[in-house]
Amino acid sequence: MNCNFELLPPLYSSSKEEVNAMRHQAIKVRLYPTTEQKQILAQHFGCSRFWWNYALNLCIETYKATGKSLNQSALNSMLPKLKKEEGTTWLSECYSQVLQATTLNLVTAYKNFFEGRARYPRFKAKKNRQSIQYPQSTKIVDACLKLPGRVGIIKAKLHRPIEGKIKTVTVSTTPSGKYYASVLVELEGDNQSPNSEGKVAGIDLGLKDFAIVNDGLKTSKFANPKHLAKHERNLKRKQQKLAKKQKGSKSRDKARKLVARVHERISNVRQDYLHKLSGQLVDDNQVIVVESLNTKGMVSNHKLAKAISDGEVLPR
């Protein structure tokens, strides 16, 4: 299967000096939408998911029939007609920029696939993580996030000031039912260039020991906290309850969220430990060297997969 997409030229051009003078930063914040806003976001999630699957299937069928591909402009030109058809008139209730951003993401997914950075684009399911993008008309209002498309002002937990020009806002929901927004801002100034001067530390990653750090003078060992093992009994009990629930029932949905919360708790404690450890290493050293490992190949070993994943320190 090989669909060669044509990418549209940029809407504007900028000099090399202007590009180098700008940098981007993403800030993830927690959202607390109202019941009405949850319904609107759910509608936008569904419309974006439908259009992604529809466009992906259309690209596959078009290539099989003609051997040619569909570019971004060709896909976007189909949206007005699709919104007027009898079975898909509900697409007109979705904010138009959300659907166009979905088209851009699909084209980018194809480009990443052909250049060897990602696998072939897949169809999206309702049960998986949901996300949409607002590429414009978003702003910060009274420590809240204002989104277009009938969503309005959403209460947000801004743990740090958001400075610079807001480029895009990606709203997502976790399997446990929490809402987050990733705010991409454009700031002035160049990105810092790598520096190889200063105290050097080498890190050896393993299973028995979380990490072994050597700076040339001493060796420090960090034990593997084994976060998954600590929550495995609780996770097993909740998964067994989920397996007994009837598919499609409300009780099964509640049980599913309980399982998702356990996984989310495990992920949070892993990330917390990683941030604290990495912060300590960065404060004590100027140059850090980490071994490169084939994590994907190592995880394929079913005897070591759980232990490797529980370490959560191997490069992805």
Per-residue pLDDT of the chain (316 residues; tens, 9 = 90+): 444 434 333 333 444 444 456 788 899 999 999 999 999 999 999 999 999 999 999 999 998 888 888 899 999 999 999 999 988 999 999 999 999 999 999 999 999 998 989 899 999 988 788 999 999 889 998 889 999 988 999 999 988 888 889 999 999 999 888 999 999 998 887 766 776 777 888 888 776 778 888 887 888 888 888 888 888 899 999 999 999 999 889 999 899 999 999 999 998 898 898 899 889 888 888 888 887 777 667 667 776 666 666 654 433 3
Give the bridge partners for 191, in sequence order.
none
Q: How far apart are CA 36 and CA 49, in angstroms?
A: 20
Q: Are 119 and 134 in contact (CB under 8 A)?
A: no
DSSP tally for the chain: helices H, then strands E = 9, 11
- Other CB atoms within 10 A of residue 229 CB: 12
Structure tokens at 299: 């995880």
